[in-house]
Structure 1
Amino acid sequence: MPRADKPRAPKARIEGTYDIDTGTARVAADPERDGAYVLEVNGVPSSHIILGAPRVLTFEYMSWVVAAIKSQPAQPQSIVHLGGAACALARYFADVYPASRNTVIELDGKLAAYVREWFDIPASVEIVVAEARSATHALHPRGSDVIIRDVFAGGTTPPHLVTVEFLQAAYDAAGLYLANCGAFPGLQSTRRELAGMLEVFAHVAVISEPAILAGEKYGNLVMIGSDSPLPLIDVPAPAAVKYTEWVRDLVGNARPYRD
């Protein structure tokens, strides 16, 4: 008899490469755990899913996002996820906060349909096929508690999702904004995006590894913007959290991106 706490392997075989609207998606089984899969979108690892275990997040930056949201004084009731892939964070928050509404904005309609078919996405998670910028502008003013941007074209964020005008739309729609970014050595683009964050949000923080924060190597960096003071965020070492004054020093005289 199988253990109740061990994810079961799916009945249908889903490994393979599939044509989607924006290119190709590849699903690979994780040989180290039964029922675990990696989803690649156009050659980039985008999600790691363990069927039956939505609270297990193996991508480190996702644990930083979780830590930032859990540090808030109130549980979120409405979370908008810009960028879907396999909906790993939406699955997580739907399980941790069962009363919350999780809306995933996914550009690729075929990928959205496949993800519903392949993985155990809760019915409470709504997947909307739409472009992230347009969807953000269409949100009701302060109708959401959190917006999480996790949209990539290769290793970078699309340009229209880093501008002051986009950030203003995110600010208008939600009290807390988080963005997963690809930070390159030297941090030139990171400084400019953070300059826009400082223009829109009263309080800004970043989470990453020390070498990435120092501009020494490429990696994930999570930006956080809020109009309320940010509480202390507890993340496991070696990751570190830097707050508004540190961010201001990093930005220096960098100019924000604009439309």
Structure 2
Amino acid sequence: MVFPTDHGHAEIRWDGPRATLLLDGVESSAVDASDPSYLEFEYMQHMSCALGVALPPPGPVRALHLGGAACALACAWEATRPGSRQVCAEVDALLAHRVREHFPIPRSPRVRIRVGDGRAVVDAARPGAWDVVVRDAFVGGAVPEHLRTRECAAAVARALRPGGLYLLNCAHGGGANAHRDVAAVLEEFPLVLTVQDPKVGRGGRRGNVVAIGVNGGDFGADALDRAL
């Protein structure tokens, strides 16, 4: 199934109960209707491990996702953390409508899709409103510039409760450079860690680097190593 979006085109491919969303030909989300806790993409698994260290499941979380697509991570957290309240900020209104129509996304207030720019949503957030903020936003294969700045990291830090997490999906290699994203977060967060494949970290091939900004408090880096 192929359809236009406000910023390009999308395709949904079904394999039994599992649906994969492709944006402009690139896999973006995968949701399993028979097991919403399933996470296909490794970087999302890493993000869940980091959250589990800071806030062990099944405790509920208040999560803001900058970039929605098919809300795979939000669906997984809803399945494993009952009572969570999550907002997915998606700039593409047509895409947001279509994924609500075709993917098994829990209804608001469990998972709310808010059409709008993620940075504007962060800037408008109450101080300490969120346990975790996830940046997983791409337009044309690149993270929007205004989501890569120190000012954006500062706005996220204000929106997080003490000890909250800022989880970023950063592209690296093949012309993309995650160092800039990490440097911006380092300016505003007292502790920043990264999770990456060594080959990606050296820039040998393009892939995902997960950056973890910890908004104060204790965070078990050793526990994260074990969870990964």
Task: Provide the TM-score with structure 1 as the length reference.
Answer: 0.79
Q: Which has the greater radius of gyration?
A: 1
Residue 94 of structure 1 deviates from its aligned partner by 0.8
Task: Provide the TM-score with structure 2 as the length reference.
Answer: 0.90
1:78 aligns with 2:66: no
1:21 aligns with 2:10: no
Structure 1 gap segments, 5+ residues each: 1-15, 238-259
Change (3 A) 1:49 1:194: same
Which amino acid in 1 is paired with 2:169?
A: N
Residue 200 of structure 1 deviates from its aligned partner by 0.5
Query: How many residues align structurally?
Result: 218
1:61 aligns with 2:40: no
Which amino acid in 2 is paired with 1:200?
A: E
Residue 60 of structure 1 deviates from its aligned partner by 0.7
Per-residue deviation, residues 38-81 of structure 1 (Å, max 9, x unmatched): 11112221011111211111111110000000011454520001
Per-residue deviation, residues 183-205 of structure 1 (Å, max 9, x unmatched): 12587x32222221111000000
1:177-188 aligned at under 5 Å gives the runs 177-184=166-173
Counterpart Cα distance in 1 of 2:89 and 2:100: 14
Structure 2 gap segments, 5+ residues each: none
Q: In the alignment, which of 131, 153, 156 is matched to residue 142 of structure 2?
A: 156
Asked if structure 2 preserves the Cα contact closer than 8 Å seen for 1:203 and 1:228, the reply is no
Counterpart Cα distance in 2 of 1:27 and 1:186: 28
Per-residue deviation, residues 59-114 of structure 1 (Å, max 9, x unmatched): 11110000000011454520001111111001011111111101111111111111
Q: Percent identity, please.
A: 37
Change (3 A) 1:73 1:17: closer
Per-residue deviation, residues 126-160 of structure 1 (Å, max 9, x unmatched): 11001011111011111111000000123321111
In the other structure, the counterpart of 1:52 is 34
Q: In the alignment, which of 218, 222, 225 is matched to residue 206 of structure 2?
A: 218
Change (3 A) 1:207 1:76: farther
Asked if structure 2 preserves the Cα contact closer than 8 Å seen for 1:57 and 1:63, the reply is yes
What secondary structure is seen at the aligned counterpart in 2 of 1:91? Answer: helix
RMSD over aligned Cα atoms: 1.7
Counterpart Cα distance in 2 of 1:234 and 1:165: 30
Residue 234 of structure 1 deviates from its aligned partner by 3.5
Which amino acid in 1 is paired with 2:129?
A: G
Per-residue deviation, residues 195-251 of structure 1 (Å, max 9, x unmatched): 2111100000001111112222110010000123321214677xxxxxxxxxxxxxx
In the other structure, the counterpart of 2:178 is 190
